[in-house]
Amino acid sequence: MKNKFKVTIIILIQIGIIIGSFLTLAIFESETALLGNSINIAGKNRLLSSEFVNEIKDYTYLKNPEANPQDKLAALEENIHLLKNGGMLNENKIPMLNPEFEKEWNEIEANFIALETEYLVFKEKENFNFTYEEMANVEQNFSLFLKSSDQLVEKLGNQVKKLSERLIILQLLLLIFNVAVHVELIIIVTHIYKNEFEKSKKLEKLAVIGELSARLSHDMRNPLSNLKMSLELIDARITDESSRDKLKIMKRSIDRITHQIENVLDFVRTKEPSISTWNLNSIIQESMNQIKIPNTIKISLPAENLLVCCDKEQMEIVFLNLIKNSIESIDGEGTVKIESKETAKEIIIKIQDSGSGIPEQYIDQIFDPLVTFKSKGTGLGLASCQNIVKNHGGIISVKNNPTTFTITLPKKRTLRK
């Protein structure tokens, strides 16, 4: 159960990494694209300012009546404010300029104002003619404007470069983390298969295979199918050849175990309980009649003889195993106390003994096949008890201090799903 929980957690982490990777890449790419738009707008200042100065020259020196410096100046001013405040241009989103670039933008604005002022002064002159000296001043302001615009373009470009470097580092970290999660998943799944495969090998050698083997095989098929599907999903995303080789080994192990399971299921099928209504105390008594009970051990039956819906022969096996285990755990004198009660929907039976108890290292696996702390135990008795109770739609559990087995059966038997 712990291993399966780990596998579930790791798969969820894997899904989280994939989703996080896509979201992170999308965010970085979006930010990089927006910065690229800002760089384009900042770079456009050079084009618009050049066109403005050329219009002045065309009007002044070439006497071109179609030259219109005022329109170019307005377009340049609009571009500068778009760079700072953001907006839309040709269906492209321009973000607001980050405050860290405000100094460079202020220089651009100051140089633009100087260029605009130079133009407005000479605009008022008659015939709007610039002398060569005056034109040199315009050229100087124009150069300063270009320099400040280029500085902003360069700084924006450096920011894009930093984002790209961070993105590469993040991708490497995600890749390393992703591989680590894959390796951990492979280790856990391999451990699970190794344990299950060893259990299957031992069960094949057992003389008593019957109901327990069929139940175990049946319960393993669905988890194996789920694990195989998970491995296929992992395989589709792995590029590391070493990891791929491990996955191939695991897939072959799944196929081998699945084949063994099908053979066991073909050989032995779990017998469905034949349900009838019986006196609980009579079933317990029949079980006790098959056991040699020492004179030093006292067994007390439930005070109330309840009716229970069950397969009498199968439930006798359950009580025989539990009472026998209780007797074996008592050294010398002791008691085995059997109690029962009913609720609106269930019959609850408790078997409590004064024995030495179950070692804590076995308490969580006591119902697992082949798990036993007794030198002559097979590890099949309690596993069979659990299977029978489950086939009746019930639950069996155990606790220490004192050792108490609790069986909960439905008053009306429900079919297993």
Q: Is 348's pLDDT higher than 90?
A: yes
Over residues 41-50, mean pLDDT: 86
Q: Could you tell me which residue, 27 or 308, shows the higher pLDDT?
A: 308
Q: Whose structure tokens read 């009660």?
A: 341
Q: Could you tell me which residue, 414 or 2, shows the higher pLDDT?
A: 2
User: For 200-209, 259-268, 343-352, 360-369, which range has the lowest pLDDT when averaged over its residues?
Assistant: 259-268
Cis peptide bond prior to 95, omega within 30° of 0 = no
Q: Is 347's pLDDT higher than 60?
A: yes
Is 2-174 CATH 3.10.350.10? no
> 3-state class of 298 per DSSP?
strand
Q: Quick check: 330 and 297 in contact, CB under 8 A?
A: yes
pLDDT at position 3: 60
The predicted-structure confidence for 223-277, as pLDDT tens digits, reads as follows 777 777 777 777 777 777 777 777 778 877 776 666 455 544 444 445 678 888 8
Q: Could you tell me which residue, 349 or 274, shows the higher pLDDT?
A: 349
**Structural tokens at position 372:** 């036993």
Q: Could you tell me which residue, 65 or 401, shows the higher pLDDT?
A: 401
pLDDT at position 130: 64
Domain ranges of the chain: 2-174, 276-410
What is the rounded CA–CA span in Å between residue 350 and residue 341?
9
At the fourth CATH level, the homologous superfamily of domain 276-410 is Histidine kinase-like ATPase, C-terminal domain (3.30.565.10)
Over residues 366-389, mean pLDDT: 69
DSSP string, 325-372: HHHHH--SSEEEEEEEEE-SSEEEEEEEE-S----HHHHTTTTSTT--
Cis peptide bond prior to 294, omega within 30° of 0 = no
The predicted-structure confidence for 148-192, as pLDDT tens digits, reads as follows 888 888 888 888 888 888 877 877 777 777 777 777 777 777 777
pLDDT at position 214: 55
The predicted-structure confidence for 88-104, as pLDDT tens digits, reads as follows 887 888 888 888 888 88
Phi, psi of 325 (to 5 degrees): -60, -40
Q: What percent of the chain has pLDDT over 70?
A: 81
